[in-house]
Amino acid sequence: MLLEDITHWLGRDGNGLAAAQVVAAFVTALATLALWRVTKVLAVETAALAKMTSRPFVVCSLESSGASAIALNLTLRNTGNATAFDVKLQVTPALPKPDGSQASDQVETNFETSLLPPGQMLPIQGVMGPKVHDKRFKATISWAALPDAKERDTLSYNFEPKDGFRGGWSTKGAHHIAEELEKIRKEIPRRRQ
């Protein structure tokens, strides 16, 4: 009986159109609510992403040095998009001194700097590769996004010197070739005599 009544009502002039409009309005309302929800989530995520991409992010590693094919530099890098302030670095166990000697009472290497601009690197200490090549180090780095800020970001991870070792031609190639060419250029006039 109910189905017959509905069919009869829809058959009257204008009632079918009114029912279609009510259904369309209901579907539009549901679509509007879904769109509002998705837009709200997108706005929150965009704000979080913007905040994360405008922050400093500091890492350290032992990287090949241009001074010698077997030398490594302990290097701080700010890979973020903002200046890092009050940067503190702790490397355990302590790195040997550049001459290869180790202080008997030193268990860690510490370094602090007041700021590190984005995209910048700061070589801290040189070491000879053979003295550290087979060791594993733990780096703990902390920094603030603003000067004198109480809130600090901290990153702690393990690394090995062999990860950053690119000795030989990859770091010194062109410089070494230029020196050898200069020696040959000076030697040629002596041999002509």
Predicted pLDDT of residue 133: 77
Whole-structure pTM value: 0.61
Distance CA 179, CA 66 (A): 14
Q: How far is CA 159 from the centre of its chain?
A: 15
The alpha carbon of residue 101 and the mean position of all alpha carbons in its chain are separated, in whole angstroms, by: 33
Q: CATH for 58-176?
A: 2.60.40.3970
> 21 pLDDT band (50/70/90 cuts)?
confident
